[in-house]
Amino acid sequence: MRCTDLRHLGGPNVFTASPVSIARLELDELTGRETTDYPGLAQRLIRLLPGLAGHHCAAGRPGGFVAAMDRGTYFGHVAEHVALELSCLAGREVCLGRTLWAGADGHYDVVLECPPDEAATSPVPARLLGAAIEITEDLVAGRARTWTRDWPRSRFCGNRVSSGSVPPPSPRPPGAGAYRSAGSGPRACSGWVTAATGGWPAPRSPS
């Protein structure tokens, strides 16, 4: 899995009032593979990043992302949620993410909200996505991952936020942002968000 393009879109935009980064992911050897093809992967991911258990995803309630992994979802969607959780642990106050089919098998656009005061040229979104890809691939391959509690802030945000212990994620109201990410499974991930309505057209499954 690799990121082949990353661009910044100022806010307001068709996704949210805030700026976003849009990354083109190519799944490569993970094209067509789902989380259910790797027994125990969801459990290993939640042990590594417990906050993922609270992500709403399209279900609109805590546990929605875990349920999506249990049903089977593509790995662009997994990378989106991992990047969002790392973003939260790094102290960025953002919560919106979406995974959109990019018109070809194994090609997805991952949309991540950015803080309004973060420069359009900031390296943080690229670092978050790179780490999310690395973590996802390591878990698929069965490689163990460990880190200290301070690692997300020191790696991703540098001088933007102070180092030190990372507080728990701040509470978010039900249905807030990325905790109900648009992609909840292979078919739901296969649509574009339309500029006119902000909604999802009829599902379009990759051929």
Residue 183 pLDDT class (50, 70, 90 cuts) = very low
Closest CA to 88 of 117, 64, 124: 124
> pLDDT per residue over 103-114, tens digit each?
999 999 999 999
Question: Looking up tokens 């590594």, which residue turns up?
Answer: 48
Question: What average pLDDT does this structure show over 57-63?
Answer: 86
How much is the pLDDT for 154? 55
Question: Looking up tokens 């379009």, which residue turns up?
Answer: 204
How much is the pLDDT for 55? 94
How much is the pLDDT for 149? 56
Q: Where are the domains of the chain?
A: 2-180
How much is the pLDDT for 165? 32
How much is the pLDDT for 156? 65
188 three-class SS: coil
How much is the pLDDT for 17? 94
Contact criterion met (CB below 8 Å) for 68 and 57? yes
Higher pLDDT, 62 or 155: 62
Contact criterion met (CB below 8 Å) for 38 and 70? no
